[in-house]
Amino acid sequence: MYSMDEIFARLQRGEKVEDIANEVADAINGAVAKLEEEQTKKLQETKIHDAAERAAAAFNELLVYYDVTKEKMTAEDVIGLMKSVVEVKGQLETVIDSISAAKPQKRAITSEEKLDNFLRDWNLR
């Protein structure tokens, strides 16, 4: 914290007003940025939790509709399920990429080769 007595003592030691002001401004800007970041993160977590609660409620309604006796799903269950889906999706993308990279690439047929094939198919060559 910056108290008047602390600032006064620093001025008496010969520190420049601009240096002290810049230091205070940097501290305030850092605190404001941190606060905004925390608020954004909290808002995002709230949105995710709200969506997960709606998904759990919908799933539970389906269980009632189809007369399935099962433990009720919670928002935390939905969030855990979605994290698992994201992990599996990432792993599948890695596997698909490695398969695509290992597959030999087919060479494009030139127009000259297409013409030659056409003439051969019609016994003109």
Q: Is the separation of the CB atoms in 48 and 81 below 8 Å?
A: no
- In this prediction, residue 98 carries a pLDDT of 83
- In this prediction, residue 117 carries a pLDDT of 87
Structure tokens at 112: 């000259």
- In this prediction, residue 78 carries a pLDDT of 86
- What is the DSSP annotation of the chain? ---HHHHHHHHHTT--HHHHHHHHHHHHHHHHHHHHHHHHHHHHHHHHHHHHHHHHHHHHHHHHHTT---PPP-HHHHHHHHHHHHHHHHHHHHHHHHHHHHSPPPPPPPHHHHHHHHHHHTT--
- Mean pLDDT score across all residues of the chain: 87
Tens of pLDDT, residues 51-76: 888 888 888 888 888 777 777 888 88
Model confidence band, residue 77 (pLDDT cutoffs 50, 70, 90):
confident
For the whole model, what pTM was predicted? 0.50
Query: What mean pLDDT is predicted for residues 40-57?
Result: 90
How far apart CA 67 and CA 5 sit, in angstroms, is 72
Q: Is the separation of the CB atoms in 59 and 73 below 8 Å?
A: yes
